Amino acid sequence: MAHFSYTDLGRMDYKACWDLQEELLAAVIEEKRRRGGAVDRHHFLLVEHPPVYTLGKSGDENNMLIRPEFLEEIGATYYRINRGGDITYHGPGQLVGYPILDLEYYHLGIREFIGRMEAAIIGTLGVFGLTGGLREGATGVWLDPGDPVKARKICAIGVRVSRAVTMHGFALNVNTDLRYFGYINPCGFTSSAVTSFQQELGREVPLGEVKEVLREQFNDKY
């Protein structure tokens, strides 16, 4: 069982947090180089971001449906970044997690790493009475994933791996303002709805409660 070094960053600018991830990634890679093998030094950043859109390295800019000048009107920023996946939104009320860990230490491939992350998210949803699942041909965690009409995404996932060390991670909609998703094709899916804990449960869910459950679920999965 893993015990990550959890850091709750509260609300933090996206670019500042991205820079912090890069620093931690570089430090873990350097430690691997010095040791000549896997390391047991793992970080897990939990954070909320001010409104921001991020586009993965293989993403299509056409999935951003608004003009750059409109970003300023809605108080959002935009970055093209070095994770996998397409476009997504981060904002207040959304719990973002960035595991920075050495896959070699766990003898994991990237697909299995993502699978455990998805399982931890699904386990967290279950504690709050929500049934999450996976959708064929899509990343992340969904509700009613097998129903083409009802399927709605509650958690986006996109990662980068360098020297078998991960960065970026997941974005779980807890009390997120879902109107911001209306300005993009979330993760490249033009017809998919997006949802949140608040939308599904009809009440605001304390972010601290979700963080506690999420930590337990991740420690159980790694």
Give the length of the chain.
222
Per-residue pLDDT at 188 = 46
Lowest mean pLDDT among 84-88, 121-125, 171-175, 208-212: 84-88
Residue 150 has pLDDT above 60, yes or no: yes
* Angle formed by the axes of helices 110-127 and 207-221, nearest 10°: 140
| Residue 124 and residue 80 in contact, taking contact as beta carbons nearer than 8 Å | no
Instruction: Count the domains in the chain.
Output: 1
Residue 92 has pLDDT above 90, yes or no: yes
Residue 172 identity: L
Residue 171 identity: A
Residue 200 identity: E
Q: What is the largest CA-CA distance in the chain?
A: 52
Residue 91 has pLDDT above 90, yes or no: yes
Lowest mean pLDDT among 144-148, 173-177, 197-201: 144-148
Its pTM stands at 0.90
| Residue 180 and residue 74 in contact, taking contact as beta carbons nearer than 8 Å | yes
In which band, very low, low, confident or very high, does the pLDDT at 139 lie, cut at 50, 70 and 90? confident
Per-residue pLDDT at 59 = 57
Per-residue pLDDT at 178 = 92
Positions marked catalytic: 187
What does the buried/exposed string (b/e) look like for 152-179 if buried means 16 or more CB atoms within 10 Å of the residue's CB?
A: bbbbbbbbbbeebbbbbbbbbbbbbebe
CATH of the domain at 196: 3.30.930.10
Phi, psi (rounded to 5 degrees) for 203? -155, 155
Residue 106 has pLDDT above 60, yes or no: yes
Radius of gyration of the chain (CA): 17
For 176-219, how does the pLDDT look when each residue is reduced to its tens digit (9 = 90+)?
Answer: 999 898 887 655 444 458 999 999 999 999 999 999 999 999 98
Q: Of the spans 38-42, 162-166, 189-193, which averages the highest pLDDT? A: 162-166
Per-residue pLDDT at 79 = 79
For 54-83, how does the pLDDT look when each residue is reduced to its tens digit (9 = 90+)?
Answer: 877 665 666 565 666 777 788 888 877 777
Strand pairing category for 5-11 and 43-48: parallel
Domain that residue 62 falls in: 5-221
Per-residue pLDDT at 5 = 86
Residue written as token pair 């973002």: 96
